[in-house]
Amino acid sequence: MIGTMTTNPAPHLFWITSRAAGFTALILASLAVSVGLVMSIKLLRGRVLDLRVTHEILSLSTLVALVVHAGSLLGDQYLHPSLADITVPLAGAYKTVWTSLGIVSGWSLIVLGLSYYARRWIGAVRWRKLHRFTALAWIAGLVHSLGEGTDAGQLWFLAMVAIVVIPALALLATRWVGGGDLAQGRGGRRAAPAPAG
């Protein structure tokens, strides 16, 4: 009797893992963007170093979640995507536009996030200019989630996303209205990577 009341998740394990990792990446990226923006608009004076560490942890955690989100799809028994389908825009047949937007967002977040560790070779000014695009990559990831996400129409999903996305969007709007360098922290110090997606 109990066996008939439960569903075997094994055939859907990779899909479920991808969904969970995608949701996690979106939450972490939104938090990373918020913390980065709090540093850049100098809302918490004197706490920049603590925030920088938090920002870096959230950013790197986002990148791990993105890799799990895409990589776990390789084991999905329904989609059977190839490596190209999950890494190359327009290569896959499943919801091509939304998937491609997610791929572009994911690669952008990875490259922009890891560029923090190459800023010595990139140059501080050039790196700060590049870092501004992180917010756009995060927004692209948000659009991907809302357009393709299996749970995008669910009230719980929208509520959970709103909790972290609305503050980040408000901070981003404040930053854009205020002008200046999105990656510049207090006293001109650089912020850690801010993958948004």
Q: What is the pLDDT of residue 10?
A: 66
| 164 exposure class (CB count in 10 Å sphere: 0-12, 13-18, 19+) | middle
Number of structural domains found in the chain: 1
Report the C-alpha gap between 164 and 141 in whole angstroms.
14
Helix (H) or strand (E) holding 146: helix 133-148
Decide if 116 is inside a domain.
Answer: yes
Query: Does residue 196 form part of some domain?
Result: no
Does 197 map to a domain?
no
Q: Is residue 122 part of a domain?
A: yes
70 within a domain of the structure (yes/no):
yes
- What is the end-to-end Cα distance of the chain in Å, rounded? 42
Is residue 165 in a domain?
A: yes
CA distance linking residue 194 with residue 132, whole number of Å: 9
* pLDDT by 10-residue block (mean), the chain, 197 residues: 56 89 95 90 69 92 97 90 93 90 96 92 89 93 91 89 93 79 41 47
Report pLDDT for 193: 52
The parent domain of residue 156 ranges over 2-188
Q: At what angle do helices 48-71 and 96-114 cross, to 10 degrees?
A: 140
Q: Is residue 7 part of a domain?
A: yes
Phi, psi of 192 (to 5 degrees): -75, 175
119 domain-assigned: yes
Nearest one of 39, 37, 34 to 50, comparing CA atoms: 39
